[in-house]
Amino acid sequence: MGNMQSNPIGIFDEVKSQIRALLNLAIDQLREQGVIPADLSTPDFVVEHPKARNQGDFATNAAMMLAKPAGTNPRALAEAILNAIPANDVIGKAEIAGPGFVNFTLSEGAWRGALRNLLDTGDSYGRNESGEGKTAGVEFVSANPTGPLHVGHGRAGVIGDCIARVLDANGWNVKREFYYNDAGAQINNLALSVQARANGVGPDDSGWQDDWYKGSYITDIANDFKAGKTVTVDGADVTATGDVNDLDAIRKYAVAALRLEQNLDLEAFKIGFDNYFLESSLYSDGLVEKTVAQLIDSGHAYEADGALWLRSTDFGDDKDRVMRKSDGTYTYFLPDVAYHESKWNRGYERAITELGSDHHGSLARVKAGLQALNVGIPKNWPEYVLHQMVTVMRNGEEVKVSKRAGDYITLRDLIEETSADATRWFLIARKPDSQLTFDIDLAKSQTLDNPVYYVQVAHARICGVFRQLKERGLTFNAENGLDQALDLEDRAAHELILTLLRYPDVVAAAGRDLEPHTIAAYVLELAQTFQTYYNDHQFLVDDSNVRDARLVLALATKQVLANGLNLLGVNAPEVM
């Protein structure tokens, strides 16, 4: 197992490959011996974890798949395969089960080598190079700068940020991107709302429009604008003129003020971005007009009823779509096509967009527009991750309003009432397309019913063991611990090691499938598995060999918990 330290895939993937190679060698030998026909090709057998843990570490159906075409009994063939497997240091024990399955238990040396790899790689354990340095763009949050970020933005933020983290752990060069819709009717309504407040007009007064923004933050912006305050956002100063009749000046100041507030919310949530892309730049830089020209040149656009249409039915859409209306304005999906083409032109081999589920209807037409450009964009590009709504509960009742925002709970509300760690955990812990209930009382509780608290306590508990080790003047030799015979008959130890060594494969799958919530499920499982081991074993015993062996498992667990929590953007505290 010495070559595991450079493995770019995952420890268990490598072990499976090694077992598969040994089985192929055995099957080749059986052909030479005439046990199976020489012209019988090797079937695509599986090597996987058995459903029951007491059936070994891996199992294969190779004998069962070969038996019928070979005209032999599967159990007899399984026995022949086992006898033909070359000597190796990977398989510790092999047994035939059921109608002809073969169960493998890894050798103690294989386990020891894997644990040594874990400790040697440390913070890098679980990382791989499957992305091969390619660029992935992850667009998320992308909130209109019309108000404070709400809980839905928070869920989008942590999902997008964790996707970026797991892609980075899989070797991708990740670019985090925020798309600002800084043009259109909503921005105009923002400016009109601030102007009305600046003139002393509120939601209960005549002249107030239903689609204007009512939160108290609008009053704050109006007062700051009249006071001539300056906002610095993304390195640029925007100073209010104080002229309540200058709607353009109000719009510019209000957008800057809300962009700054959103940036502060995201900073408190431990989220940052590499690129901020303004929708207005699509027009000022001529990208929308360029996209229209490309679609016309490609032959997939046509004029009808005074409007310009995209023949999106050519690409699987249920009907053709208007791109430019008869009044000369563009429909919303055209700038989306132009924006995503800019991602392609910026070299994003993988482009992921995280959105609320209410955007589902627009995805097909955007992809149709990208295909219609005829510039080589793959059909499955970009990738979309959609999240469902979040229901916030306190004292068993749904919470719907915020003093600051007026009609929704803000992200800042949740962070201030619970913590950034708890908010991130609860918003990432479930699959994005599932409904999510955020229980404020549970998130605040310092009990083992709170999953993030449970995981953080496990990490802090291990740190405490090592502090006690030092306080008592005891020694710890990790190399000696690795060299000691691991008691694989100890079920709790075996389960803990097995769980630890699954981590690289969990990270690889999370990056491949864009499912960072599986990291949260994994670290909770690891914390629970360690707790079972902790309950059954004393660590600071007098026997140095036993002490070293047990502390090695504790140290490995501490490392993997920290690595997993880092991918979630959650702290791994040393003291709780």
Number of separate domains in the chain: 2
Q: How many residues make up the chain in this entry?
A: 576
Indicate the range of 179-183, 187-191, 484-488, 561-565 predicted with least confidence: 484-488
pLDDT reported for residue 20 = 92
* Domain presence at residue 267: no
Nearest to residue 333, comparing CAs of 372, 301, 362?
A: 362
558 domain-assigned:
yes
- For the segment 84-103, the average pLDDT, to the nearest whole number, is 92
Strands 47-48 and 58-60: antiparallel
pLDDT for residue 1: 28
DSSP-derived 3-state class of residue 199: coil
Q: Which two tokens stand for residue 100?
A: 């002809």
Q: Is residue 361 part of a domain?
A: no
Residue 406, pLDDT score: 65
Q: How confident is residue 516, by pLDDT bands cut at 50, 70 and 90?
A: very high
Let me know if residue 142 belongs to a domain.
no
Indicate the SS3 state at residue 6. helix
Q: Please write the tens of the pLDDT for every residue from 442-484.
A: 999 999 999 999 999 999 999 999 999 999 999 999 999 988 7
> Which has the higher per-residue pLDDT, 550 or 215?
550
Q: In this structure, is residue 88 part of a structural domain?
A: yes
Task: Give the C-alpha separation, 488 to 493, whole Å.
Answer: 7
Nearest residue to 221 via CA among 212, 211, 231:
231
Computed over every residue of the chain, the mean pLDDT equals 91
Q: What CATH number does the domain containing 485 carry?
A: 1.10.730.10
Q: Which of 84, 106, 128 is the last residue of a domain?
A: 106
- What value, to the nearest 5°, has the Cα angle with vertex 256 and ends 254 and 260? 115
Whether the CB-CB separation of 504 and 513 falls below 8 Å is answered with no
Bigger pLDDT: 203 or 523? 523
For residues 371-378, average pLDDT: 93
Among 519, 517, 270, residue whose Cα is nearest residue 415: 270
**Of 91, 106, 121, which marks where a domain is finished?**
106
Residue 2 has pLDDT above 50, yes or no: no
13 belongs to a structural domain: yes
Residue 3 has pLDDT above 60, yes or no: no
Distance CA 301, CA 141 (A): 32
Residue 89 belongs to a domain with what CATH number? 3.30.1360.70
Residue 13 belongs to domain spanning: 2-106
- Note the pLDDT of residue 11: 61
Domain boundary among 52, 87, 106: 106
Amino acid, single-letter form, for residue 142: S
pTM of the shown model: 0.88
* Whether residue 230 has pLDDT greater than 60: yes
- What is the residue type of 177? E
Question: Within 13 Å and on the Cβ side, how many CA atoms surround 38?
Answer: 3
What pLDDT sits at residue 10? 53
pLDDT score for 488:
60
How far apart CA 487 and CA 481 sit, in angstroms, is 12
Average pLDDT over residues 241-269: 94
